[in-house]
Amino acid sequence: MVRTAITPELIKRAPKVLLHEHLDGGLRPQTVIDLSRDIKYDGLPTNDPDDLARWFIVDTPGSDLVRYLEGFAHTTAVMQTRDQLQRVAAESAIDLARDGVVYAEVRFAPELHMKSGLALDQVVRAVLDGFAQGTKEAQREGHDITVRAILSAMRQAMMSETIAELAVSFRDQGVCGFDIAGPEDGFPPTKHLRAFHLIQREDFHMTIHAGEDFGLPSIWEAVQFCNAERLGHGVRIVDDITHVDGHHLLGRLANFVRDRRIPLEVCPTSNVHTGAAASIATHPIDLLRRLRFRVTLNTDNRLMSGITLSSEFETCANAFGWDLEDMEWLTLNAAKSAFYPFDERLAMINTVIKPGYATLRSSEAK
């Protein structure tokens, strides 16, 4: 089979699916400045949008997840009212659509947006209304996108069961799943078993941040105690893979994750910025892809990493020699792993993703 090399222009045109994106990590720098001015928030390090964009990017060698999370104090500060949340959500949908994303699951923690008096359900409603507004504006520009929400509970807090109930209550209104986020070390997923069991009893969906800044025990608890359907990041599964005499040997947990086709929501640039990987060149995503784990490529936080999903594909293509067929495989992995009803998922694959890549191959062959 003739394989197709990819260029930045080809990547931008390709239909893409995004499963791991934080709403408060994807703001436009100018929006942060505008909203800060509106509420007289004086905590920003600069009011120049270019300088602010550079400030948010945590790419200092030795950075870790705690340093990476510092920027969120500024973004959440300007996401406390209905209008603020709706604007941020609408712009998120538009920006993703302009980048060629046809389906996205964007997560946020409602408990972080109550400082101005909003109730939890009001926070969720504002974000969902923003996604709807942004989707319509994107369609007017000629970009079709579906954006759904995942509600995250902060693992260092004690609201996970309440957030799980909230997610279920909005399940038919645009919320597609539940998650826990925040520092892994010291806050294992088993502290939130009641929330995960509630999600299971309600036949709903869950993904768990695990295997980012903590190792195999976090992944093991997430899949064996909490029955995670997907793993947020999950890159530390590589710690259960050894290289012996030219062969890769999988340990029991790695075998289990691969055998069960548990999707890995991998975010390479973010992993480098948080210290979960030393560099893109040494990031385990390509090894995991070659070993046929259910790998998906994601952004995590576009603002904090200074990326788009297109640029992330380009970065990995340059590092690992990926071509259009690899990009399609990763995109189909994401589509198959989405918290999206089966019929809609299948329609997206058969009428949008596969035809989109076929068209790109055809155009390159001429």
User: 280 pLDDT band (50/70/90 cuts)?
Assistant: very high
The total of structural domains in the chain comes to 1
What is the reported pLDDT for 70?
78
Residues contacting 174, CB < 8 A, separation 6+: 128, 131, 132, 148, 149
Question: Is 144 a residue whose pLDDT tops 80?
Answer: yes
More confident residue, 40 or 213: 40
Query: Is 2 part of any domain?
Result: no
Average pLDDT, integer, range 60-84: 82
**Looking at the chain, how many residues does it have?**
366
pTM: 0.96
* Separation CA 258–CA 59 (nearest Å): 31
- Catalytic positions, written as ranges: 212
What is the reported pLDDT for 183?
85
Contact 7, 317 (CB under 8 A): no
Beta bridge partners of 152: 179
Query: Is 325 part of any domain?
Result: yes
Query: Is 110 part of any domain?
Result: yes
Query: Is 1 part of any domain?
Result: no
Query: Is 28 part of any domain?
Result: yes
Query: Is 3 part of any domain?
Result: no
What is the reported pLDDT for 58?
76
Average pLDDT, integer, range 250-266: 98
* Separation CA 306–CA 299 (nearest Å): 10
Contact 315, 268 (CB under 8 A): yes
Average pLDDT, integer, range 68-91: 94
Q: What is the pLDDT of residues 284-299, one digit of tens each?
A: 999 999 999 999 999 9
CATH number at residue 313: 3.20.20.140
Average pLDDT, integer, range 144-163: 97
Domain hosting residue 159, numbered range: 8-365
* Minimum mean pLDDT range among 51-65, 73-87, 236-250: 51-65
Radius of gyration for the alpha carbons in the chain, expressed in angstroms and rounded: 20
What is the reported pLDDT for 155?
93
Tokens 């408060």, residue located: 24
What is the reported pLDDT for 332?
98
Average pLDDT, integer, range 118-142: 98
Residue 17: name the closest of 342, 341, 357, 338 by CA: 338
Average pLDDT, integer, range 199-211: 97
Query: Is 154 part of any domain?
Result: yes
What is the reported pLDDT for 60?
62
Residues contacting 324, CB < 8 A, separation 6+: 3, 4, 5, 6, 10, 14, 357, 360, 361, 364
User: 64 pLDDT band (50/70/90 cuts)?
Assistant: low
Percent of the chain with pLDDT over 90: 89
Question: Is 66 a residue whose pLDDT tops 80?
Answer: no
What is the reported pLDDT for 67?
67
Average pLDDT, integer, range 32-52: 96
- Sign of the Cα torsion 167, 67, 315, 253 reads negative
